Amino acid sequence: MAPASTKTGEIPFSHPTISTPLKTWYEIHGTLSTPSSPTHRPLVVLHGGPGIPHDYLLPLVDLANTYPAPVIFYDQVGCGRSTHLPEKKNDKDFWTPELFLSELDNLLQHLGIQDGYDVLGQSWGGMLGALHAIRQPPGLNRLIIANSPADMGSWVAAADRLRLGLPEDVQETLARCEREGKTDTEEYEKAIMVYYERHLCRVKPLPAELEASFAWLKQDDTVYLTMNGPSEFFVSGTLKTFDIRKDVHQIKVPTLLINGRYDEAQDEVVEPFFQEIEKVKWYRFAESSHTPQLEEREEFMKVVARFLGYKNR
């Protein structure tokens, strides 16, 4: 089957504290629906981090190649191919969920899809997607929350438990570097990778798509460091107090909840979504950690396509 057509572009995005317009880079695989050529609703993909661009989610192109389903990727401002703002590092008043909600609304309006679309958010992207759905935008039809916490307290508690399963020398290195403020060292980075190989992505060697996202992060960690912190389990940024458990009942669209057996987002981390969302299904990938779209690619696409109601061409 021939690959779906691809279109890239940049969308102007303004912020009251920035004098020049920002740019949100996007890429559409497939063709947006028209009266003469109807397709499935577009699927808007929200990447994680914050500040880790979309590359590691590119396996979702499979959906556009298999079904008449346009898939839209974009790099959130501050990372990847969108405008970078390294001068805003540690500016906690600037890097907020509200900034990225506004950017998402701007993208939907610019592409003219605000009246009918689906959202798949992965990790931080799932948190952002949930916040978007809580507002009950009329054009949102279905939501997929993949590998995401409803609150960061549960995420950190699960990470602390998973760390106890690491080799003792790795645990010691992580603790010492965090204690001594040496989280920007090669020693700490190597210790983190031991954790990531167990609980972020279990494919060896790491897939090229994930390596590409990590390369972008290494070039500019402004957003990730400010909002998250130095690592997946050492959360010291603005998201440290993130907690939407009391609000998720306001998500009214059908929702698919995803995590993996070895995921950083352990069952107790994602369970509040399952308990509080009215129309929800939960699928747990048996051989995956935090990136089932890379670890169990074929099964992941089947699960997502079935939920979204896709049918083969």
11-68: pLDDT as tens digits:
999 999 898 889 999 999 999 977 666 678 999 999 999 999 999 999 999 999 999 8
Element (H, E) at 117: strand 117-122
- Cα dihedral 287/290/293/294 (nearest 10): -80
Tell me which DSSP letter residue 37 carries.
Answer: B
- Please report which helix (H) or strand (E) contains residue 280, including its range: strand 280-285
The amino acid sitting at 161 is R
Distance CA 313, CA 174 (A): 50
Residues with catalytic roles: 123, 263, 290
**Does residue 145 carry a pLDDT above 60?**
yes
Which pLDDT score, from 0 to 100, does residue 35 have?
Answer: 67
Taking the C-alpha atoms of residue 35 and residue 63, their distance in angstroms, rounded to an integer, is 21
Spatial CA neighbour of 289 closest among 265, 268, 273, 256: 265
Interatomic CA distance for residues 289 and 201, integer angstroms: 6
Average pLDDT of every residue of the chain = 95
For residue 254 the two structure tokens come to: 């059908």
Angle at 58 between CA 54 and CA 64, to 5 degrees: 125
Q: Which amino acid, 108?
A: L
Mean pLDDT, residues 124-136 = 98
Q: What is the average pLDDT across 168-172?
A: 97
pLDDT at 178 over 80: yes
Q: What is the pTM of this model?
A: 0.96
Q: Average of pLDDT values for 197-205?
A: 97
Residue 141 has what pLDDT? 98
Residue 286 phi/psi, 5° resolution? -70, -25
pLDDT of 250 reads 98
To which residue do tokens 């308990």 refer?
275
The mean per-residue pLDDT over the stretch 201-209 comes to 97
Residue 244 has pLDDT above 90, yes or no: yes
Segment 74-94 shows an average pLDDT of: 97
The pLDDT score that the predictor gives to residue 231 is: 85
On the question of pLDDT at 1 being above 70, the answer is no
Mean pLDDT of 265-269: 98
For the segment 213-218, the average pLDDT, to the nearest whole number, is: 96
- Integer Cα distance of 10 and 81 in angstroms: 9
Q: Is the pLDDT of residue 304 over 90?
A: yes
pLDDT score for 218: 94
H/E element holding 125?
helix 124-134
- Percent of the chain whose pLDDT exceeds 70: 98
Confidence of residue 169 (pLDDT cuts 50, 70, 90): very high
- pLDDT surpasses 60 at 313: no
Model pLDDT, residue 309: 95
Is residue 148 within 8 A of residue 127, CB to CB? The reply is: yes
pLDDT band at 151, cuts 50/70/90?
A: very high
Q: State residue 232's pLDDT score.
A: 84
